[in-house]
Amino acid sequence: MVNDDNDRENDKEKTNEEDMEKLFRLFRQIVNEMFIAYDYRRKYESSFEKIQAERKLAEKEIELFSEVGFDWDYEWQEKMI
């Protein structure tokens, strides 16, 4: 009888340890995925900022060409989009 109680307690402790190990692995996986998502976000933001800077530069070039009398072909530009 006492042996059965000890076995049950040992099984409970073992189950708790296994559950804690599973939770820890899950936690590590979540943290790793958060870091991966953060890296993707940083890459996306830097790409977006680069594209914004290029667009501003292109708009400035169009403005400068317009000032010297260059006729910008907006139809060609729309076809490229």
| pLDDT per residue as tens, the chain (81 positions) | 556 677 777 778 888 889 999 999 999 999 999 999 999 999 999 999 999 999 999 889 888 877 777 666 666 666 665
Whether the full predicted model's pTM is greater than 0.75, yes or no, is no
| Cα 36 to Cα 40, 43, 50, 69, distances in angstroms | 6, 11, 21, 50
- pLDDT at position 25: 96
- pLDDT at position 61: 86
Q: Rounded to 5 degrees, what are φ and ψ at 43? A: -65, -45
- pLDDT at position 72: 62
Question: Tokens 């979540």 — which residue?
Answer: 30
> Of 51, 72, 45, whose CA–CA distance to 61 is shortest?
72
First to last CA, the chain: 81
Question: Tokens 């890459």 — which residue?
Answer: 43
- pLDDT at position 77: 63
